Structure 1
Amino acid sequence: MKKLLLLLFLITSLIKVNAQIKPVYFYGDKVISNKNKATSYAIYGKLSDQDIWMFKRYDLNDNLLQTGSYNDELLTIPHGKFVFYTGVVDYNNINRTRYDLKGKTRFKSQEGEFVNGKEEGKWFTYYPDGNISSYMEFKGGLANGAYKEYDKYGDITVSGNFLNNEKHGEWISENGTRIDTYENGVRKSTRYVKKTKKVKGEVKN
């Protein structure tokens, strides 16, 4: 009954934007035709006024896994904003943490933009409480630009830059005490500095 109500709600929502509704089933990340073997499913529909296929994917317990949009009916060319969701319990088990969101069981774990199938611009990952876990910049599907990792208090633990998917320039880690210098992915030197003060940083979405 829960699935039926959910599907009816999705269909109603998509009708409002004049979309043509279709289901699709997945085994892992592979699209399959046999829904009895599916490990997740999605509902998607084409917006009537543009060549965009809106997409929502769920696990078999109807938990939202991701939202996004595609340029094609076969769902091979992601285009637009994508948001991914994770269970709090799953996150705690994997990372040995104890987040408790007061009744909420899932959270937004990652988001970013695709342009014609390639990652573009700013991508973020998040802790269950909504704080930024990492930040990364893409251009044409390749990591290009700043990269930062944060601890749960908002302090930067790792920072550096990528150039065409390779580490390039100075990378700072170990609470700001280690500085590695890279050239096109090859580490050229490492030096250690005395710890003075924690570096705090914030990346605005």
Structure 2
Amino acid sequence: MKKISVLLFGIFFYCVANAQVAPIYFYGNQVTQDKDKATSYAVYGKLSTGDIYTFKRFDLYDNLLQTGSFSDELLAVPHGKFTFYSDVNEFNLLYKQSFTIRGKTRFVSQEGNFVNGVEQGKWLLYFPDGNIFNSQEFIDGKLDGKFLTFDRYGKSIVSGNYALGEKDGEWLFEKEKIREIWNKGVLVSREKIKKSKQIKGTIQSKNN
């Protein structure tokens, strides 16, 4: 998960609280007042209805990096949908992939919702082609529910369940080659799964 708390550190000291639109400059993930040192920037503004402040962050080439909204003028409490954007080539280098998107170099890489400062509901990570890379569910900021990771062809790589932030129940890894059983964050067992294959109408183990 991308954490936004670092991005927001110190914003109060650099923003005009009552302004409808205010620039924020970043050096890495730290707020800076020196525009010449900035590696990215952001703008925020209050919506005309309600106490909701929108937030958009860009790189120095004006590529959109992140959008979201906050329930306070200090931008300390994320509230609403957040969307993150990434570069296709950077994704390919990081994950040793070869995605191409006709006419585009950027894509939606992650999205999910905050409610009063904590993650709620389903958060999704995407491949550059839009297929789901990872799915995870939150309740009050803690992982709770199904956790799934897929390869680019939709094959499950990791699957399991969280309960209040802890692994619980059956987990499958390495495209269902490894099975683990967890009980409220405690690993109970781990085993390799013996795959079977069908030969001439019969089921036989690969080890036979």
For the criterion TM > 0.5, the same-fold answer is: yes
Instruction: Give the match for residue 44 of structure 1.
Output: 44
Cα 1:36–1:73 change in 2 (3 A) is farther
CA distance in 2, matches of 1:140, 1:196: 41
SS of 1:89 mapped into structure 2:
helix
Q: 1:196 to 1:130 in 2, by over 3 A?
A: farther
Q: 1:59 to 1:121 in 2, by over 3 A?
A: same
Q: Residue 111 of structure 2 corresponds to which residue in structure 1?
A: 111
Deviations 1:136-175 (A, max 9, x none): 0001011111100011111111100112222111101122
Is the 8 Å Cα contact of residues 175 and 195 (structure 1) preserved in structure 2? no
Cα–Cα, structure 1 residues 136 and 196, in superposed 2: closer, same or farther, change >3 Å? Answer: farther
Q: Greater shift after overlay, 62-71 or 183-192?
A: 183-192
Whole-Å Cα distance in 1 between the matches of residues 176 and 195 of structure 2?
7
Shift of residue 196 of structure 1?
4.9
Residue 102 (1) aligns with residue 102 (2): yes
- Kindly name which structure, 1 or 2, has the bigger radius of gyration based on alpha carbons: 2
Match of residue 86 from structure 2 = 86
- Inter-partner Cα distance in structure 2 for 1:150 and 1:179: 16
Question: Could you say if the C-alpha distance between residues 196 and 22 of structure 1 is closer, same or farther in structure 2, counting changes exceeding 3 Å?
Answer: farther
1:183 alignment partner AA: N
Judge conservation of contact 1:112–1:124 (CA < 8 Å) in 2. Answer: yes
Distance in 1 between the 2:64 and 2:188 partners?
Answer: 44
Asked if 1:169 is matched to 2:169, the reply is yes
Aligned residue for 1:77?
A: 77
Q: CA RMSD in A?
A: 1.5
Pairing 1:9-158 to 2, within 5 Å after superposition: 20-158=20-158
What secondary structure does 2:171 align onto?
strand
Question: CA offsets, 1:153-200, max 9 Å, x none?
Answer: 111111001122221111011222321011222211012322359xxx
User: TM-score, normalization: structure 1?
Assistant: 0.83
2:179 matched residue in structure 1: 179
Once residues 27 and 185 of structure 2 are traced to their aligned partners in structure 1, the CA distance between those partners, rounded to angstroms, is 35
Q: Paired residues, what number?
A: 179
Distance 1:30 1:71 in 2: 22
> Matched residue of 1:91: which SS?
helix
Where does the alignment leave 5 or more consecutive residues of structure 2 unmatched? 1-18, 198-208
Within 2, Cα distance between the matches of 1:184 and 1:156?
23
Deviations 1:27-60 (A, max 9, x none): 2222222222211111110012210001111011
Q: Which moved more, 1:81-90 or 1:163-172?
A: 163-172
- Are 1:110 and 1:126, in contact at CA under 8 Å, matched by a contact in 2? yes
For 1:188, what is the secondary structure of its paired residue? strand
Q: Distance in 1 between matches of 2:30 and 2:74?
A: 12
**Correspondence for 2:12:** none
Runs of 4+ in 1 over 3 A off after TM superposition: none
Shift of 1:93: 1.1
